[in-house]
Amino acid sequence: MSTLHKRAVRVVDPGVLSTVQDLGRHGSGRLGVSPSGVADWYSGRAANRLVGNPDSATLIETTLTGATFALGHDAWVAVTGAAAPFAVGERVCEQWRAQRGRAGDRVVVGAARRGLRSYVAFDGGVIVPALFDSASTDVTSGFGGRILARGDELSLGATIDETSDVRIDPIAWIPETVLRTVRLASSPAVETLFGSSYVVSDRSSRQALALDGEGSLVGMRADLPSAGVSAGCVQITGDGMPIVLLCEHQTTGGYEVAAVVAYADIPLAAQLRPGERVSFAAVDVDEAGRALAQRRSALDAACRSVDGRRDGSAVLAAGFFEGAES
Amino acid sequence: MQSFACRPFGDAAVLVELGTTRDPELALQASSLADSLSTWLASRSLDVVSGYCSVLVRFDPLTISPEEQLRAVTDALAAYTPHLDAEAAVGGEHRSSREHRPSREHNVRVCFGGEHGVDFERTAHDLGMRESRLRDMLCGGEFRVAFLGFLAGFPYLLGLPPALNGVDRLTRPRPRVPAGSMAIAAGQCGIYPRASAGGWRLLGRTNAVLFDPSHKPATLFAPFDRIRFEPVSDLRDASVTTT
C-alpha cells in the first residue's frame, strides 16, 4: 500500500529563465510541434538518476543566473549542468550528487561560473499537466510545461525515499569547446566550417546557437525545399553563418544542413554561453557512437535500474507553505 | 518497387529522400510515406517528420544504434507500397493515414492588403499586375496541404499559381509577423498560426485558429486537406469553414 505524500516546492526566485522540462515532446513533429525538453540531455538525465527518478521525470532547467526554491517537505534534490554554487539550507553542497533537504529549507542554485543551464531535480519529479505526452515548456511557442514565476508552487510526485549516495561525472569544461560533428555534405564551404572557430552570439536561445566568425560559408544553399531537422543540425543561414539547432528547434527548415553535432556533444552545445568560442571536429557515425557510449556509461554509474515512471499522482499544493516556514 | 535514398543524418536520425524539388506529387508522397513509417516504426522511432521531398526519422540513439536505425528504416521502406498510396494521394481519395482523419476541405476567408497584408500592394506592383488580379489568382484555385512544419500548425500549401513563383523572400526577415498572416515566397504559400519572426511576403490575414494545443485535433489543417481562399474586407469576417 502506497502512501501519498503531500509534497511541493515553492519558487522563491526563478532567475532570468527557469522552466519545467522533461526529455521532450516527441511524436508530434508532423503537426509542426517542436521537441523542446531539456537542452542538455546528459545533465537532465543525470539529475533525475541521482534522486532516484526515471530519466523521463520532470525537472527544472535554469538559465545563467540560477534560481532559488523553498522545500515544503523533506526531499532529495540534485543539481547538475552548469558549474554553479549550490546550497541546501545552510549547507554549501556538491553538485552532481543527491542532497537531502528538510521542510522549509531553501535550495539555492547560484549564477553559473561555467556553462549556461543548471538542472534541478527533486525526487518524485515536478507534476505539471502533459501536453502531447510531455511536460516540457516550449518557450518559443508559449505552450506546455511552465515558465516559473516567483511564488509558484510546484507539486512533486510520490517518492519511495530511496536514494543511494552516488556521484555522476560532471561535464568536463575546457577553454574552447570542440563539438564532435558528423559531416553531411562535402564541399569547400563545409571544409571552412571544420577549419574555423566561431563565437556564440547573444541571438542564441533554446531554439539554436547562433554563431559569428570569420568562417563564412559561401556557396551553401539557403532556399532548399524545407525538410525535417533535428537537434544538432548545423545549418548555414542566408548570411553564410552557421547555426546549431538545439532542443526547441523548428520541425522543418530550408537552409542547407552541412553537418550534425554528435548526440554525445549536444550537451556541450547547450551549455555554451554568448561570447564563448566553439569549433567543430569532423567525426564519422561510428566515432559519434563511441562518444555516446562513454556518456552512457558515465550515467549508468548512478543507475540502479530505474525503469518506468513512478506513479506521480498530482497533489495540489495551494496554501501548503503556511507553517512550513516561519 | 520504387527505391528511396536512405542515409544516416548524424547519429540520431535517418533521412529518406524521394527527390530534390518541390514537386507537389513528391510532397504528397512524402507525407504518405511519413504516415506509413510512423505506423511501422511505432515506438522504435522518436518522431517522423515529412518535408517537400524527404522524410526525417528521428531516434533516441541511447536506445538504438545508428546501424540499427538505418536497418529499421530500410525494413520499413521495404514494406511500403508507394504506387497505391501515391496514386491515391494525387487522385485525392487518400485517407491520410489509418489513425488520422480523412482529408477535408477548408474555405479560408482572408482580408488582403492594407494593414493585414503589408506586402500585398508591393507584391502586385512587382509582378506588374493589378491588386484585384493578384487577389483573383490567389482565390481562383485550390491549394493542398503538403505537410505541417516550421511552427506548430503551419501548413505548407501546394498550388500557388506559377505566375507568382517569382516572388522572393524578404531580404531581411521581419521580427514579428501577426498570427493568421497568409504569406508567399519562393513558390511557396503558408499561413502563420501565431505571431513569429518570418521572411515571407505577407499578403493577407485570417482570424482562424490554426493551432490549439488544448483542442483535439490540435491543428486546423492536416496533410492532403484542400484549401480555397475567399476575400473579405473585414478581418472580423475572416473565418474558416471546414467541410
Has residue A206 been placed in a domain?
A: yes
Smallest CA-to-CA distance from B12 within A225, A240, A26, A107 is with A26
Give yes or no for A237 touching B (CB within 8 A): no
Asked if B49 lies within 8 A of A285 by C-beta distance, the reply is: no
Has residue A275 been placed in a domain?
A: yes
Q: Give residue B178's identity as a one-letter amino acid code.
A: P
User: Domain range spanning residue A285?
Assistant: 177-299
pLDDT above 80: residue B181:
yes
**What is the arithmetic mean of pLDDT over A242-262?**
95
Number of domains in chain A: 2
- Single residue among A139, A169, A199 that ends a domain in this structure: A169
pLDDT band at residue A163 using 50, 70 and 90 as cut-offs: low
Has residue A188 been placed in a domain?
A: yes
pLDDT above 90: residue A1:
no
Same domain membership, residue A137 and residue A191: no
Query: Across the interface, which of A33, A225, A285 has its CB nearest the CB of B8?
Result: A285
The Cα–Cα gap between B124 and B105 comes to: 27
Same domain membership, residue A198 and residue A289: yes
SS (H, E, C) A48-74: HHHCCCCCCCCEEEEECCCEEEEECCC
Has residue A320 been placed in a domain?
A: no
- Single residue among A151, A169, A187 that ends a domain in this structure: A169
DSSP one-letter string for A276-321: -EEEEEEE-HHHHHHHHHHHHHHHHTT-----S---------TTTT
Q: Name, in order, each residue with C-beta under 8 angstroms of A71's C-beta and a sequence gap of 6 or more.
A: A9, A77, A101, A102, A103, A104, A105, A106, A107, A324
The Cα–Cα gap between A233 and A33 comes to: 17
What are the extents of the domains in chain B?
5-91, 105-242
Picking from A285, A292, A295, A297 by the largest number of B CB atoms within 10 A of its own CB, the best residue to mutate is A285
Give yes or no for A308 touching B (CB within 8 A): no
pLDDT above 70: residue B92:
no
Residue with more model confidence, A39 or B186: A39
Which chain B residues have a beta carbon less than 8 Å from that of A260? Answer: 9-13
H/E stretch holding B132: helix B131-140
Same domain membership, residue A237 and residue A123: no
How many A×B Cβ pairs under 8 Å? Answer: 147
Same domain membership, residue A60 and residue A208: no
Query: Across the interface, which of B8, B53, B218 has its CB nearest the CB of A31?
Result: B218
pLDDT above 60: residue A310:
no
Q: Name, in order, each residue with C-beta under 8 angstroms of B90's C-beta and a sequence gap of 6 or more.
A: B25, B28
pLDDT of residue A303: 56
Mean pLDDT (chain A) is 89
A66: left (phi over 0), alpha (psi -120 to 50) or beta: left
**Hey, what's the cell of B4?**
528511396
Query: Across the interface, which of B20, B52, B61 has its CB nearest the CB of A226?
Result: B52
Whether domain B5-91 has CATH 3.30.2310.20: no
Which chain B residues have a beta carbon less than 8 Å from that of A253? Answer: 150
pLDDT of residue B102: 75
pLDDT of residue A219: 74
Q: Give residue A179's identity as a one-letter amino acid code.
A: L
**What is the arithmetic mean of pLDDT over B46-51?**
97
pLDDT of residue A238: 80
The Cα–Cα gap between A32 and B50 comes to: 10
**What is the arithmetic mean of pLDDT over B223-237?**
96
Same domain membership, residue A284 and residue A184: yes
Task: Characterize the bridge pairing of strands A59-63 and A99-101.
Answer: unpaired
How do residues A170-186 score in pLDDT, each as one tens digit?
998 988 999 999 999 88
Same domain membership, residue A80 and residue A19: yes
- Single residue among A169, A188, A213 that ends a domain in this structure: A169
Residue with more model confidence, B199 or A218: B199
Has residue A289 been placed in a domain?
A: yes
How do residues B106-153 score in pLDDT, each as one tens digit?
999 999 999 999 999 999 999 999 999 999 999 999 999 999 999 999
Q: Residue B14 pairs with which residues in a beta bridge?
A: B8, B57
Has residue A122 been placed in a domain?
A: yes
Same domain membership, residue A109 and residue A78: yes
**What is the arithmetic mean of pLDDT over B160-184?**
93
Same domain membership, residue A142 and residue A57: yes
Same domain membership, residue A87 and residue A197: no
Query: Across the interface, which of A35, A227, A285 has its CB nearest the CB of B11?
Result: A285
pLDDT above 80: residue A50:
yes
Looking at domain B105-242, what is its CATH homologous superfamily?
Cyclophilin-like (2.40.100.10)
pLDDT above 60: residue A2:
no
**What is the arithmetic mean of pLDDT over A129-139?**
96
Same domain membership, residue A213 and residue A161: no
Asked if A285 lies within 8 A of B211 by C-beta distance, the reply is: no
Asked if A28 lies within 8 A of B62 by C-beta distance, the reply is: no
Same domain membership, residue A149 and residue A12: yes
Asked if A32 lies within 8 A of B151 by C-beta distance, the reply is: yes
pLDDT above 50: residue A4:
no
Which chain A residues have a beta carbon less than 8 Å from that of B8? Answer: 182, 285
Q: Of the given ranges (A184-198, A288-302, B55-69, B87-101), which has the lowest mean pLDDT?
A: B87-101
Residue B17, CB half-sphere, CA atoms under 13 Å: how many? Answer: 10
Has residue A319 been placed in a domain?
A: no
Query: Across the interface, which of A144, A228, A263 has its CB nearest the CB of B12?
Result: A263
CATH number at residue A186: 2.40.100.10
Residue with more model confidence, B209 or B100: B209
**What is the arithmetic mean of pLDDT over B163-175?**
89
Measured between CA atoms, how close is B183 to chain A, in angstroms? 16
Cell numbers 548526440 label which residue? Answer: A263
Same domain membership, residue A36 and residue A19: yes
Measured between CA atoms, how close is A203 to chain B, in angstroms? 12
The Cα–Cα gap between A162 and B129 comes to: 73
